[in-house]
Chains A and B, each alone.
Chain A
Amino acid sequence: MSMTTSMLSPAQPTSSVRRIGGAQLYQALPGALRKLDPRTLYKNPVMFIVEVGSAYTTVLAVRDHTAFGILIAAWLWLTVLFANLAEAVAEGRGKAQAEALRRTKTDTMARRLTATGEERVAAPLLAQGDRVVCEAGDVIPGDGDVVEGVASVDESAITGESAPVIRESGGDRSSVTGGTKVLSDRVVIQITQKPGESFIDRMIALVEGASRQKTPNEIALNILLASLSIIFLLATATLQPLAIFAKSQQPGLPDTSALNAHGVTGLVLVSLLVCLIPTTIGALLSAIGIAGMDRLVQRNVLAMSGRAVEAAGDVNTLLLDKTGTITLGNRQASEFVPVGTTNTDDLADTAQLSSLADETPEGRSIVVLAKQGFALRERADGELAAATFVPFTAQTRMSGVDLHGRQVRKGAAASVTAWVLGTGGVVPAETGQVVDGISAAGGTPLLVATRADGQPATVLGVIHLKDVVKDGMRERFDEMRKMGIRTVMITGDNPLTARAIADEAGVDDFLAEATPEMKMALIKKEQEGGKLVAMTGDGTNDAPALAQADVGVAMNSGTSAAKEAGNMVDLDSNPTKLIEIVEIGKQLLITRGALTTFSIANDVAKYFAIIPAMFAAVYPGLDTLNVMRLHSPQSAILSAVIFNALIIVALIPLALRGVRYVPSSASAMLRRNIIVYGLGGLIAPFAGIKLIDLLISSVPGIS
C-alpha cells in the first residue's frame, strides 16, 4: 500500500533491505552464545533437551575419543546454537531500531508550570498531570495533550515522516509524543504518561522484544511441542531394555558403535531423541513471534501486545471509516449533465472556466474531468488576464469568474437557483430532477449557470461530484470475503449516500449517520455472536469503541485517549493499514503451523535413517528399512543429526519473513500448505539426509 517509508529510515537506511546475510548471522553470534545459558534456555523445553543431550554426548565423546562421537557432539551443540541464532537474529533487527529510538531520548529539560510561574525540571521527573510549556525549538519532554495553544510539531523521530504536523488544544489532534520537537508557536502540554512509561519507552521495549510475552496460540503450541518431546523421550528411554534383550539374543555378534551389551550407546540414543523431538519448530518458534512483531513495526504499526497481533488474524468483522479508508478524502467531478438546450461541450467548457482558479480538490477535479473527457486544455495566457475570480464564501455558497462582462457561477443547487431567479432568469424544469437524481445516487450536485452582461442568467447544467472509491478496494474486500472477513463501512453520510458508496466499494454492510454510540453498539452486537471485531479510530469519542474492539488501531495523529484505548497505534495514521495488520496476524499463525507440520513430518525419514543403523547389525532384515541406502550406520546417524541442525539454519529466513501468504479461502490455503509443508516435510529429509550422507561418506576417515 502507500506505506513505503520504513520506520526510522533516516537513521537506518538499510532497514528496507531485509535479506538475511552471513553478516547478520555473524553479528547475532555473540547473542546466540549467551543464550546457551541453561538458566534461560529452559524456557524452551525442546531446545533444553537438546542442550542436555549435547552436554551428555560431549562427556561421552571426550571419554571415548572417537571421531564419530566428537562429530555427533559438535553437531548437537550446533543444533542448539542455530536455534539461538534464529532468535538472536530476530531480536537483532529490533535492537538496531531501538538504538535509533534511544538517541531521541535526550536529557530533555522541561519547563514545568507551578502556581507561581515555571520551573526547570529533568523530563524523567515529570509526573502525570504536570503542565509544561514548550516553545519553538523545544523538545517535548513527555507524552501528553495540548491544553493551550497550537503549534507545528516535527514527529519524524517516531514516524520517519519529515513533514511537520499541527497539534492544537481541544479536538482530535491534541496528543503529542515525548521526544518530538516543536517547530513554531507556544503550547502548554498536560503530561499523561507515567515516568518511564512513555510512548518511546514502550516502543523500545517492543522492538527489542524485552516486553514480549508469549501469545495464547504460542503457549498452546509450546504445550503440544513439550508433550511430543516427552512422548519421544519415553520412546527412546524405554528402548534401552528392548535393545539389551535384542543384543543378548545374538551373543556372537560383535558390538557396534550403536549397540553393545549395555544397549544402545549414549551417543546414538541421544541422536535418535534429538532427531525425533520437534527441534525445527522448537528452534524457530520464538524467532517467528519476534519477526511477526517486527513486520508490524516495519509498517509503522506498534502493537501493544502480541495477543493483539494474533487477534488480528482471527478477526471476523472489520469496521472501516469511509473517508480516507474506502474513499479518497475528497469528492470528485464524475459527470457533466446539461439541462435545457445546452450541450455537454458547452457545459464542460463553462464548468472548467468557473473552476480554473478554484484550488479546492473538487475544483481541481472539475478541470481534470474537462481535460480528460472533453480535451479542454488550460486557457492561453492572455485569455484570462481580464478575468476576476469570485471565491467561494460561506454566505454565497458559490464561486466563479467574471470575464469580459460574462459571469459564470457554480455552487450548491439552492444558491445557484436563487441567484439565477434573482436575475430574472429561468431554471429549466428538469434541473430539479437531475439534482435529486444525483443526490439519490449518493453524489453532490453542483449547478453551473452563466449570465451575459445585464441579461438574465441561465442554468447550463449540473456537475456530478461523487465520492471516489480508492483503486483496488473492491478487490481487497473480495479477498477479505474469501478469508471470511466481513467489512462494514462507517460513515456520517445519510443512508442513501452510504448505500451508493457501499455498493460501489463492495463492502458487505454499512453504518450510516454513525455516532460513537452506534459504533459501540455494533461492536457489542458482533461480539455477542462470537465474532472478533477490528476497527480504527482517532478521536476521544472513539476511545470506548477502540477499547471494546478486539483489535483497536489508533491513529498516531489522534488523541492520547484513543491511543491508550486501542491496542495498536499506526504511526502513519493510515486507516487502510488495518487490512495489512490482519494479513500480518494471519501470516504469523500460518508460519507457526506450517513449520510445526514440517517438523513433525520430518520424523518419518529420520526413523528410516536411524532405526536400521541402530539395529540392522542384530536383525539384518531391518536393513530393508534403509530405503535411502545410506553408506554406513555411522554416516546414517550423523547425516540425520546434521540434517536436523542444518534445516534450522535453512529455515531461519522463512521464519523471519513468514511463509508466503496469498489471501484465499481457508480450504485453498490449507491445501497449499499441506502440500508444501506436509508432503514437503515428508520428502525433503529423505533427499537431504541422502545428500549429506553422500558428502560425508566421501570424506576419508569419517565413515
Chain B
Amino acid sequence: MSATTVAGLAFAVSIVVAVSVSFRPLGDYMARIFTSPSHTRVEKAVYRTVGVDPEADQTWATYLRSVLAFSAVSILALYGLLRLQHHFGHPYAVPQMPPAQSFNTAVSFTTNTNWQSYSGESGLGYTAQFLGLAVQNFLSAAVGIAVAIALVRGFARSRTDRLGNFWVDLTRCTLRLLLPLSFLVAVIFVASGEIQNLHAYRSATGLAGGAQTLPGGPVASQEAIKQLGTNGGGFFNANSAHPFENPTTYTNWLSTFLEIVIPFALCRTFGKMVNDKRQGLAIAAVMGLLLVTTTGLLAGAQLAHHGTVPTAVGAATEGVETRFGVPDSAIFASTTTATSTGAVNSFHDSYTSLGGAVTLFNMMLGEVAPGGTGSGLYGMLVLAVLSVFIAGLMVGRTPEYLGKKVGRREVTFASLYILSTPAIVLTGTALAMSFAKERASMLNSGAHGFSEVLYAFTSAGNNNGSAFAGISVNTTWYNTALGLAMLFGRFLPMLFVLGLAGSLARQHHVPVSDGTLPTHRLQFVGFLTGVTVIVVALTYFPALALGPLAEGLR
C-alpha cells in the first residue's frame, strides 16, 4: 500500500471517528434546541421585532406557508442586493449582475444549493458576499433543519395538527447552533491561514517573477458556514481548491468533517425526539453504509488509474490539488456530493469517468446519504416510510413506522416526494439536450459532454450545487432553467414532507408488539439501503449509461 493510500485511509478513518464522537453530544444538543420551552432574551427580541408569537403552534399548512413566505422574501432580497451591488462602495470595481444570473444566484443560495454561474472574485462585491450570500448560508441551512424537525415532530406527536413554530425553529437553529459553531470554526480557519479582511485586491510579484493580483475578503467567516451548513458556494471561483479558502490539509480535513457532522448528528436528534434512539442509529447506519461504499468506489476509481497519464503518475491526478492529493480529494468529492454541499477542492470534470459517475450517483440518491442539513434527514425518512410500507406488508400488517400507520395519505406524499426530483432532473436534462443552442454550451463532445449537462441538472435538482464544469452555464437559458430546477427541487419536496408530517401528527401511536416491523435492526437497514439504491438511483440508470458509464466502461 502506497504512502498516499495510507494517508487517505487515515484521513477517512479519522473523520469517521470524529463524526461518531460528535454524533451523540451534537445530536442531543440539537434535540434540546428544538424541544426546550424557554426563549433566550435575544430570541425574544427577534420575535418582537419580526412580530411573531413564539408560542403559536403551526399546522403543516401554516408551517409550509411560513417556509415559502420566508424563502420568497429571501430570494427577492438577495436578487435586489445582487442587482444593486455595484452601487455599494467597494475597494475594487464590482460589476452589476445581469437579471438571469441574479435570479439564478438568489435562488441558488436560498435553496441551500449554492450553484454558482459567476466567479466570486470578479463577479461579486464584499457586500453581496457578506450580507447576501453568507446570510443565506445560515438561513437556508436553518430552513432545511426546521423542516426536518417538523417531520420528526410529526412522528413524535400524536392526535394533533400542530408541528411547531417555523419562526422559532429558524431563529433557534441560527442563534443556538449555526452561529456559535461557525464562529468557532471561523476562528480555527483564520488561525490556519484563511484570510478574513475587507482589503482591496493587491498586486504582487510571484516567485516566478510574474505579476499577480491577490484577492482579499471575509473568507474564513463565510467558509465556516459554507461547509457546516452544507452550502458549498465558494468565496472564490476555485472554491475549496483556492489556497485562501482551504489552505492546508488540516483545513481540508475540517472542511470534510463539517460537511457531514450535522446531517449525521440530526439522526440522533431524530431518535431522541421520537424517544427511541435506536431508530436514529438505524437511519445513520443506512447513510453511513451508503457514504462509505460510494467513497470507497470513488477513491478506488481515482486510484485505479486507467489511461496513459494516470498510469504513469500512479493515480488520476488531473484536476487535483497537489496540496491534498488524490485520496483526500476523492473523499472530499464524495462527501461534498453525498451531502448537498457541492463545494469542490478538485475538479470533478477531470475525474475518471467512473469516479465522475460516483459523484453523480451520490447526488442521484436524492441527497440522503447523509444529505444536506435537514434535507438529508427528511429525505431518508421519506424513503424509510416507503420502505416500511413495502416491508411492513411483508410481515402481514398495515405498515407502521414509529407507531404511525403508513396509509394512503402517507404513501401519496412519500411517492410524490420521490417522484419530484427525478422529474426535474430528467426533464431539465432532456430539454437541454433537445435544443441545439443549449447543446452548444457543452465544451466537450460525446458521452463526456452529455455527462456535463446531466451533472448540472442533477446538481441543481438535488440542491447540491457542485459543478462538473466544462459547460458554459452563464447563459440566460441555463441560468433560468437551472434556477427553476433548484427552486422546484427544494420546495416541492418540502411541500410533500410537511404534508406527510401533518398527516403523521394527526394519528395516534399504534403500540409496538412482536408483530410490528422492527425498524432498528440490521435487516431494515439493509432493506432501506436497497430501496434507496433500486427505487431512487436506478431511475437514472439509462442516463448514467449514456454518460459516464458509456465513457468509463471498456
Chain A interfacial positions (CB closer than 8 Å to B): 216-217, 219-221, 223-224, 226-228, 230-232, 234-246, 249, 272, 310, 313-314, 316, 481-486, 529-531, 585-587, 589-590, 592-594, 596-597, 600-601, 603-604, 607, 611, 615, 618-619, 621-622, 624-625, 661, 665-667, 669-671, 673-674, 677-678
Contact = CB atoms under 8 A, between A and B. Distances in A.
B510 to A, nearest CB: 5
Nearest to B422: A231
Contacts of A241: 430-431, 433-434
Contacts of B521: 667
A619 to B, nearest CB: 4
Nearest to A227: B415
A625 B530 contact: no
Contact of B517 (A216, A485, A603, A670): A670
A422 to B, nearest CB: 58
B397 A313 contact: yes
Contacts of A619: 447, 545-546, 550-551, 553
Given A234-B422, A246-B447, A603-B534, A485 B513 contact: yes
Contacts of B552: 621
A245 B433 contact: yes
A486 to B, nearest CB: 8
Given A216-B408, A589-B397, A661-B396, A238 B430 contact: yes
Contacts of B516: 484, 666
Q: List 3 tightest A-B contacts by C-beta distance, closest first.
A: A593-B393, A484-B515, A586-B396
B517 A223 contact: no
Contacts of A604: 534, 538
B540 interface: yes
A586 B395 CA distance: 7
Interface string B518-554: 1001011011001100110011111101100111111
A593 B450 contact: no
Contacts, number: 220
Contacts of A237: 430
A666 B416 contact: no
Contacts of A589: 393, 396-398
B386 interface: yes
Interface string B411-439: 11001101100110011011101100001
Given A241-B433, A670-B518, 16 more contacts: A217-B399, A219-B408, A234-B422, A245-B433, A245-B450, A314-B397, A483-B396, A585-B396, A593-B392, A600-B534, A618-B550, A667-B521, A669-B395, A670-B394, A674-B391, A678-B527
A545 B431 CA distance: 61
Nearest to A597: B390
Chain B contact residues: over half helix, strand or loop, or mixed?
helix
B508 A666 contact: no
B406 interface: yes
Interface string B36-62: 000000000000000000000000000
Contact of B511 (A243, A529, A611, A670): A529
Contacts of B415: 223-224, 226-228
Contact of B398 (A217, A226, A228): A217
A607 B430 contact: no
A219 B408 CA distance: 7
B398 A603 contact: no
B22 interface: no
A674 B527 contact: yes
B535 A228 contact: yes
A249 B551 CA distance: 13
Chain A contact residues: over half helix, strand or loop, or mixed?
helix
A223 B411 contact: yes
Nearest to A311: B398
Contacts of B418: 227, 231
Nearest to A225: B415
A481 B546 contact: no
A669 B396 contact: yes
A666 B515 contact: yes
A518 to B, nearest CB: 22
Nearest to A244: B433
Given A219-B408, A622-B545, A238 B429 contact: yes
Given A228-B535, A239-B542, A611-B541, A590 B511 contact: no
Contact of A242 (B408, B513, B524, B543): B543
B515 A485 contact: yes
A238 B427 contact: yes
A622 B527 contact: no
A667 B422 contact: no
Interface of B: 386, 389-399, 403, 406-408, 410-412, 415-416, 418-419, 422-423, 426-427, 429-431, 433-434, 439, 445-447, 450, 508-511, 513-518, 521, 523-524, 526-527, 530-531, 534-535, 538-543, 545-546, 549-554
A106 B393 CA distance: 43
Contacts of B514: 481-484, 665-666
9 contacts: A220-B410, A238-B427, A241-B430, A245-B433, A586-B396, A587-B396, A590-B395, A615-B545, A674-B523
Contacts of B534: 600-601, 603-604
Given A313-B396, A483-B515, A666-B517, A220 B407 contact: yes
Contacts of B394: 590, 593-594, 597, 669-670, 673-674, 677
A221 B393 contact: yes
A625 B549 contact: yes
A665 B515 CA distance: 6
Nearest to B513: A484
A225 to B, nearest CB: 9
- Which of B389, B445, B517 lies at the interface centre, i.e. has the most chain A CB atoms within 10 A of its CB? B389
Nearest to B424: A234
Contacts of A234: 422-423, 426-427
Contact of B540 (A227, A235, A240, A310): A235
A39 to B, nearest CB: 25
Contacts of B535: 228, 600
Contacts of B399: 217
A216 B418 CA distance: 21
A486 B433 CA distance: 60
Nearest to B526: A674
A611 B411 CA distance: 30
Contacts of B531: 600
A272 B539 CA distance: 12
Contacts of B411: 220-221, 223-224
A486 B531 CA distance: 32
A59 B155 CA distance: 51
Contacts of B550: 246, 615, 618-619, 621-622
Contacts of A242: 429-430, 433, 450, 542-543, 546
A622 B422 contact: no
A135 B427 CA distance: 76
Contacts of A670: 391, 394-395, 517-518, 523-524, 527
A624 B551 CA distance: 12
Contacts of B538: 603-604, 607
A439 B543 CA distance: 78
B450 A621 contact: no
A192 B357 CA distance: 71
Contact of A231 (B408, B508, B539): B539
Contact of A238 (B391, B426, B541): B426
A478 to B, nearest CB: 11
Contacts of B416: 227
A590 B515 CA distance: 13
